[in-house]
Amino acid sequence: MKIRVGMGFDVHELEAGRNFYLGGMPLPDAPKGAVGHSDADVLIHAICDALLGAANLRDIGFHFSNTDDRWKNMDSTFFLKEVTRLVHEKGWRIGNVDCTICLEKPKVNPHIPAMKKILAPLMDITEDDVSIKATTNEKLGYVGREEGVCAYAVALIQKA
C-alpha cells in the first residue's frame, strides 16, 4: 500500500468585534475573531495544507489566493471540499488527520465533537479519523498575548 504524509500550519491575527470560525463552525463565546481574506478558519486552512502537501499539490494559497475576490469572506468548508476533490482526482484517499489548535480563549475542547461532525464528511472519512486537540501557549508569544491563533495538522493519504 502506498501512503504519504503531509503537514500543514496556519496562523491568523485576532481582533475584537469579529466572528470567530474554527473547524467549520462559529464559536459564539469568542471574545475576538480571526482576521483573514476568507472566514480565516485556521484549523481548516492547516488541514487543507496538510492534504495538499501530502498529495504534492502545493498549498492553499496556490489554489485559493488571498488576492482573489472570489474567495473573499468564503466559508472555509468550501476549500476543504475542493481540496478533498483534488486529492481524490490524483487517485488518493484520506486516511486520517491529526490537528492541534493553539489558542488562549475561548476554550475549544467543548466544541471538538461538533467540529469533527462537520469536518469528517467533507473529507469522506469517519469522525474517528479526525483528531483535534487544543492547547494554550501558556501566555507566551502572540498566542499567549491573545493577538493570534494558529493550528497545525498532519494528514495521511493512501492510494485508492
Cα 15 to its chain centre, rounded Å, is: 19
137: its cell numbers? 501557549
Question: Under 8 Å CB-to-CB from 153, ≥6 apart: which residues?
Answer: 7, 8, 9, 43, 46, 47, 49, 50, 97, 98, 99, 100
Distance CA 32, CA 132 (A): 21
The annotated binding site for a divalent metal cation is made up of: 10, 12, 45
Which strand (E) or helix (H) includes residue 2? none
The annotated binding site is made up of: 10-12, 37-38, 45, 59-61, 64-68, 135-138, 145
Pinpoint the alpha helices (H) of the chain.
42-54, 60-63, 76-89, 112-122, 141-144
